[in-house]
Amino acid sequence: MSRIGKSPIAIPEGVTVEINNDLVTVKGKLGELSQKIDEIAVKIDDSNTIVLERPSEIKDHKAKHGLYRALISNMIEGVSKGWTKELELVGVGYRASNQGQKLDLALGFSHNIVLDIAPEVKVEAISEKGKNPIIKLSSFDKQLVGQVAAKIRSFRKPEPYKGKGVKFVGEEIRRKAGKTA
């Protein structure tokens, strides 16, 4: 039995969950998300919790049981609290600035990278003297925040020798020794 799939999801105050056939819609103070669910039964108990049940012990049903439980849980947490990711620019001359939803990155190339961020994601570039610039992304959609953060990180991944590049805050970079004399 799936440990993740069988645990119930508590619905917090201010969040409404609607189930229409195979579409689960979650509404909260920060936004609205919906997810199509197939082959797994979704039920709302009278104690304001969501329970997912799978029809059989087939490997595909087992995999979807835990997946859909995690997706619904992330949707509920997203519309109530929101999700944030922070990226740190490590390197001499690496800068970030934003004007509204346009993020301007200087990552050591001959040109600046200008990225249009989706309107659901709030972007903030923090630059303090003596510290590495930080890009803060926040939204109610966990998948979208992760996708935008991965796109920004892909422009200049951290390299293993000096650790320069775009990394997540708190990420450990495996360092290599340089060439020996």
pLDDT 10s digit of each residue in the chain, 181 long?
A: 468 888 999 999 999 999 998 899 999 999 999 999 999 999 999 889 999 999 999 999 999 999 999 999 999 999 999 999 999 999 999 999 999 999 999 999 999 999 999 999 999 999 999 999 999 999 999 999 999 999 999 999 999 999 999 999 999 999 999 888 6
Q: Considering the entire predicted model, what is its pTM?
A: 0.89
What is the DSSP annotation of 128-163?
-TTS--EEEEEES-HHHHHHHHHHHHHTSPPPTTT-
Bin 75: left if φ > 0, else alpha if -120 < ψ < 50, else beta.
alpha
Domains of the chain, CATH where assigned: 3-80 (3.90.930.12), 83-168 (3.90.930.12)
Residues 6+ away with beta carbon under 8 Å from 85: 136, 137, 138, 145, 146, 149, 168
Q: How many whole angstroms separate alpha carbon 32 and alpha carbon 70?
A: 17
